[in-house]
Amino acid sequence: MTYCVGLRLDAGLVLLSDTRTNAGLDNVAVFRKMHCFDVAGERAIAILAAGNLSVTQTTIARLRHAIDGGDAERTPSILLAPSMLDVAEIIGDTLSSVWRDVSDKMAPAGQAPSATMLVAGQRKGGQLRLFLVYCEGNFIEATDDTPYLQIGERKYGKPILDRVVRPETTLEDGRKLVLISMDSTMRSNLSVGMPLDLAIIERDSYRFGVRERIEPGDPDFAALSEAWSRALRDGFAALP
Amino acid sequence: MTYCVGLRLDAGLVLLSDTRTNAGLDNVAVFRKMHCFDVAGERAIAILAAGNLSVTQTTIARLRHAIDGGDAERTPSILLAPSMLDVAEIIGDTLSSVWRDVSDKMAPAGQAPSATMLVAGQRKGGQLRLFLVYCEGNFIEATDDTPYLQIGERKYGKPILDRVVRPETTLEDGRKLVLISMDSTMRSNLSVGMPLDLAIIERDSYRFGVRERIEPGDPDFAALSEAWSRALRDGFAALP
């Protein structure tokens, strides 16, 4: 399983993913699910992936090939696309094309793959955008009413987001929010696990201000997790 | 959908269910999902049901028919069973028999029903027991390590249980816990809804000390929900 979450705040984009993949509980591995692309000072784009790893890896590989000057007929480069909307469309088209290929291959075994991606970023002259792209190629976008999007195992970590995140939430608070949302998820679903990949794109910076891997045993993350557990227990004890 | 939760505390059993059923978002109704049976001073048993309503209603109807002196060959009375383990077995057998009947009826339409039940209670001379009964008829039981069980939409309301519930939790705290676990679930899943049914069986009382329906707009529930939201926001704001 996977948990990825993105916040589209007034101050910027905050993105967090886990790294655990599994094909059965006895086949667990670490794979990066967050992929960062930038032209410093012009655009910064992050792609977070959930679902069938063969679908998401091949999609990312095709997008990278296009950036490196590959077959521009089939896949335009997301680093040359004129807007974040075009970026989301390129990624949607690529994901759905790979998904159909893999679906055809898996159909004889009676299996059907699934995959979703979060696409977040900003291009010079454009707005901060955060999309959720489905494997069929269509997508939705975060708005001020719902300034976050999640993919994968989203339920355990959703109540705290629903109660706290607002467009005016600061980047520092956004960072804490996604980490405790992830912490709740990892406590309840073993197939979501450390290390974590965190990225922050500050508004109108067009680069990754933070790109950090949080390893198992990270003291700051452990302290945050413990403080949040204590806050929940204390808050519960103080209920009327 | 449905959310039902039961706590097996040292001091007694705390049980909560919602009442919303739906066959599609445009077909929503209120049905009781918690069914209470007692012989005051001798035993008290609660059954909480999730899943296909035709399966769970027919199961409860057969159990009631048996209590009223129906076909004792097919279904023994849960009010005469010598232990809570026997009660769980009778309910498991009845549920699985009904489930197989309904499965056969639905198979031509390519549909498969599912249902689960929580069975909680105590019989004079026995222990407090809390079981989760599957539609196949087998069951698991709450223990001191995991003193709660859930059926239905369990994910949203699980993190707070994981962090707070212990066997030594008081009945009053248990009551608050199941209510805020339900509140988190109702905020995130529209198909779980008010009114709520709450029951409490105090240890060695062999009767329902509390049997309460909490209606929409209930001021105490609204105050608890608001206080918990505030506690979460304040707890978050105070993080290091």
* Domain map (residue ranges) of chain B: 3-237
Residues A190 and A160: their CA atoms lie apart, in Å, by 20
Handedness of CA A19, A24, A28, A29 (dihedral sign): negative
Size of interface A-B (CB pairs under 8 A): 83
Beta bridge partners of A123: A43
pLDDT of residue B71: 80
Low-confidence ranges of chain A (pLDDT < 70): none
* Among A223, A229, A235, beta carbon nearest to B234: A235
What is the per-residue pLDDT across A93-105, written as a single tens digit (0 to 9) for each?
999 999 999 999 9
Summarize the confidence of residues B79-104 as an average pLDDT: 97
Please answer yes or no on whether A235 and B235 come within 8 Å at the CB atom.
Answer: yes
What is the per-residue pLDDT across B109-153, written as a single tens digit (0 to 9) for each?
999 999 999 999 999 999 999 999 999 999 999 999 999 999 999
With contacts defined as CB-CB under 8 Å, which chain A residues touch B188?
155, 158-159, 162
More confident residue, B68 or B26: B68
With contacts defined as CB-CB under 8 Å, which chain A residues touch B164?
232-233, 236
Residues A184 and A155: their CA atoms lie apart, in Å, by 10
pLDDT of residue B219: 97
pLDDT of residue A25: 80
Residue A36 sits at the chain B interface (C-beta within 8 Å):
no
For residue B98 the two structure tokens come to 């009904």
Please answer yes or no on whether A164 and B232 come within 8 Å at the CB atom.
Answer: yes
Closest alpha carbon to B161 in B185, B137, B139:
B185
What is the per-residue pLDDT across A156-178, written as a single tens digit (0 to 9) for each?
999 999 989 999 999 999 999 99
Residue B140 sits at the chain A interface (C-beta within 8 Å):
no
Q: How confident is the model at residue B26 (pLDDT cuts 50, 70, 90)?
A: confident
pLDDT of residue B235: 92
Please answer yes or no on whether A158 and B236 come within 8 Å at the CB atom.
Answer: no
With contacts defined as CB-CB under 8 Å, which chain B residues touch A233?
163-164
In DSSP notation, B189-222 reads -TTS-S-EEEEEEETTT-S-SEEEEE-TT-HHHH
Q: How confident is the model at residue B28 (pLDDT cuts 50, 70, 90)?
A: confident
CA distances from A236 to A143, A179, B11, B179, B234 (A): 32, 21, 19, 12, 12
CA distance B183 to chain A (A): 10
> Looking at chain B from residue 141 to 160, which residues have their Cβ under 8 Å from any Cβ of chain A?
155-156, 158-160
Residue B190 sits at the chain A interface (C-beta within 8 Å):
no
* Among B187, B234, B240, beta carbon nearest to A223: B240
pLDDT of residue B23: 81
Query: What is the fold of A3-235?
Result: Glutamine Phosphoribosylpyrophosphate, subunit 1, domain 1 (3.60.20)
Residue B217 sits at the chain A interface (C-beta within 8 Å):
no
Q: Which residues of A2-36 are buried (b: 16+ CB within 10 A; e: fewer)?
A: bbbbbbbbebbbbbbbbbbbbeeeeeeeeebbbbb
CA distances from B42 to B38, B119, B137 (A): 8, 17, 26
Residues A20 and A214: their CA atoms lie apart, in Å, by 13
Compute the C-alpha angle B160/B162/B163, nearest 5°. Answer: 65
Residues A158 and B13: their CA atoms lie apart, in Å, by 28
Residue B74 sits at the chain A interface (C-beta within 8 Å):
no
Q: How confident is the model at residue B45 (pLDDT cuts 50, 70, 90)?
A: very high
Handedness of CA A188, A193, A195, A200 (dihedral sign): negative
Residue A213 sits at the chain B interface (C-beta within 8 Å):
no
Interface residue of A1, A153, A163, A186 to substitute, partner B, most B CBs within 10 Å: A163
* Among A158, A160, A231, beta carbon nearest to B238: A231
Interface residue of A160, A192, A232 to substitute, partner B, most B CBs within 10 Å: A232
What is the reported pTM? 0.90
Percent of chain B scored above 70 by pLDDT?
100
Q: Select the CATH number that applies to the domain covering B3-237 from these four: 3.40.640.10, 3.40.50.720, 3.60.20.10, 3.30.360.10.
A: 3.60.20.10
What is the per-residue pLDDT across B201-210, written as a single tens digit (0 to 9) for each?
999 999 999 9
With contacts defined as CB-CB under 8 Å, which chain A residues touch B163?
187, 229, 232-233
Compute the C-alpha angle B102/B103/B109, nearest 5°. Answer: 105
With contacts defined as CB-CB under 8 Å, which chain B residues touch A168?
none
Please answer yes or no on whether B163 and A229 come within 8 Å at the CB atom.
Answer: yes
Please answer yes or no on whether A239 and B231 come within 8 Å at the CB atom.
Answer: yes
With contacts defined as CB-CB under 8 Å, which chain B residues touch A232?
160, 163-164, 232, 235
Please answer yes or no on whether B160 and A229 come within 8 Å at the CB atom.
Answer: no
Asked if the model's pLDDT at residue B56 lies above 90, the reply is: yes
